Amino acid sequence: MINQIAYFISVVKNKNFTKAAEECHISQPAISQQIKELENTLGISLLDRKGRSFTVTPAGQYFYQHGQDLLTNYQELVKQTKQIAKAEKEDYVLNLGYLRDFGTDEFLQAVTKFSKEYPAVKVKINSGNHEDLFRMIENNQVDLNFSDLRRAASNKYVNDHLADSKFEVIINHALLKDIQQTVTSHELADMPCILVVGNSEKQSEIDYYRDILGIESEFVIVGTYTEAIVQAAAGAGYLITNERSGQSITDPSLKKLVLLNGRQPMIQHYYAFWKADNSGFYIESFAKILKEQFKS
């Protein structure tokens, strides 16, 4: 019946039996006979034939609209089933990307659980800043990214929200009042902001800190997260992270302040995202496992 549904959709779309037959690579009498058999199976008329022309019945319109969805789902089912079978016979590699210094154990836990459930699948992990990861997923070097969402949501991607975390400022105790628990970017304007970034992505990160986070400070550029913490502990400036990432910072000379936008805490959003046209069983399975880690 799947082939018959495909033939019917082609006839309605092309508004012509001959053109549909050419598209489906069968003869015109054959496609006409297949649609008649489809109507007999359903016990209804999908087309109202008038000589060599036809109109689509109301039932046929409904069947046409929803038949396209069914055909798409069927094709995806076949694709995913073949992909799973292929992975059983040969090495299948799931390429994952995560935002450098995002600071969660959930991603590692998800990788561990996924590897136990699907031992035949090899997992390759890539890290980078947001622009690195975006380029990799655009170039099909990464199947799924674990990152924040800095671009507007697009139908080109599946964007799966995982969790939220308040932005924090890591700063030496001596630079602000000990009783202070929150801070705005304006209060920090006279202090350097320590930015962990490579030269190639320096400007895009600065633009993000300026335009999105509202940072007014001058920037001190360092190459590693460890170096940034050392600089902050030495009073050379402040570091921006979030509550999850900040859990690993235990230096007693440092304090953590919630970064405010006006009176409201600024929030970093955690997402898993992947190309909609690259969605597959293993990608979706990993995304589901990752999401479960944030709920536990």
Mean pLDDT, residues 93-113: 87
Radius of gyration, CA atoms only, the chain: 28
Quick one: which of 262, 271, 212 has its CA closest to 240?
Answer: 212
CA distances in angstroms from 128 to 62, 117, 200, 244, listed in the order given: 48, 27, 12, 18
CA 138 to chain CA mean position, Å:
11
Q: Each residue of 54-98: pLDDT tens digit?
A: 888 888 888 888 888 888 877 777 777 776 666 665 678 899 999
Residue 190: what pLDDT?
93
Cα–Cα distance measured from residue 90 to residue 247, given in angstroms and rounded to the nearest whole number: 41
Top-level CATH class of 91-163+269-295? alpha beta
In what helix (H) or strand (E) does residue 197 lie, and over which residues does it extend? none
Residue 84: what pLDDT?
67
Q: How many CB atoms lie within 10 A of CB 188?
A: 22
Average pLDDT over the chain reads: 87
Q: Each residue of 237-288: pLDDT tens digit?
A: 999 998 888 888 888 999 999 999 888 999 998 899 999 888 888 899 999 9
Residue 29: what pLDDT?
84
Residue 87: what pLDDT?
60
Residue 279: what pLDDT?
80
Contact 153, 125 (CB under 8 A): no
* Residue ranges, CATH 1.10.10.10, the chain: 2-88
In what helix (H) or strand (E) does residue 56 lie, and over which residues does it extend? strand 53-56
Cα–Cα distance measured from residue 180 to residue 158, given in angstroms and rounded to the nearest whole number: 40
If 0-12 CB within 10 Å is exposed, 13-18 middle and 19+ buried, where does residue 218 land? exposed
Q: Each residue of 142-199: pLDDT tens digit?
A: 999 999 877 766 788 999 999 999 999 999 988 887 778 999 999 999 999 999 887 7
Top-level CATH class of 2-88? mainly alpha
The total number of residues shown for the chain amounts to 296
Contact 185, 259 (CB under 8 A): yes
* Residue ranges, CATH 3.40.190.10, the chain: 91-163+269-295, 164-267
Contact 237, 136 (CB under 8 A): no
Q: How many CB atoms lie within 10 A of CB 120?
A: 12
Q: Which fold has domain 164-267?
A: D-Maltodextrin-Binding Protein; domain 2 (3.40.190)
Phi-psi category of 222—alpha, beta or left, where left has phi over 0 and alpha has psi -120 to 50? beta
Residue 47: pLDDT band with limits 50, 70, 90: confident
Which tokens go with 153?
A: 């949501």
235 forms beta bridges with: none
Q: Give 293's Cβ-side CA count (13 Å radius).
A: 21
The per-type count for the chain, helices as H runs and strands as E runs, is 10, 13
